[in-house]
């Protein structure tokens, strides 16, 4: 009977581990954010960074690989999203986005910080650490 209980416990741990890993993998890349789902997304995730960008913006394209990298590295801790300001002008207007790229950092649904322009990874991480 003890052996059966150990096997059952081991299997349960394996299932939980797989489930937790699958959940992390689902958010290891930036999510697409729109005007219609913006509010629900910032409320859903305790710490979220929204990259406000535009297709015509060269600096935005320079920052994109860093955002992808950070999304992978911080999966499970920080959720990253991308909001195209041309397709979603309401959200851009609500936050007074005048320059792109702009990173908006939300904690528990509230704007707590923002970064304007292309900045090094260390700078973004130092801002994130303040809110983790």
* Residue numbers annotated as active site: 57, 60
Give first-to-last CA distance, the chain, whole Å.
Answer: 45
Q: State which H helix or E strand residue 66 sits in.
A: helix 58-73
Q: State which H helix or E strand residue 130 sits in.
A: helix 121-131
Contacts of 129 (CB under 8 A, 6+ apart): none
Q: Taking the C-alpha atoms of 84, 86, 88 and 92 in order, what is their torsion angle to the nearest 10 degrees?
A: 90
Check if the beta carbon of residue 91 is closer than 8 Å to that of residue 39: no
């Amino acid at each position: 009977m003890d052996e059966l209980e150990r096997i059952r416990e081991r299997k349960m741990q394996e299932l939980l581990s797989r489930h937790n890993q699958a959940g992390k993998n689902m958010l290891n890349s930036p999510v697409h954010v729109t005007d219609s789902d913006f509010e629900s997304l910032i409320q859903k995730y305790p710490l979220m960074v929204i990259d406000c960008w535009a297709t015509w913006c060269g600096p935005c394209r320079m920052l994109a690989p860093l955002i992808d990298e950070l999304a992978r590295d911080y999966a499970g801790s920080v959720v990253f999203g991308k909001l195209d300001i041309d397709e979603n002008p309401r959200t851009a207007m609500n936050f007074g986005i005048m320059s792109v790229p702009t990173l908006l950092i939300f904690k528990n649904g509230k704007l707590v910080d923002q970064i304007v322009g292309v900045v090094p990874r260390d700078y973004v991480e130092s801002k994130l650490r303040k809110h983790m």
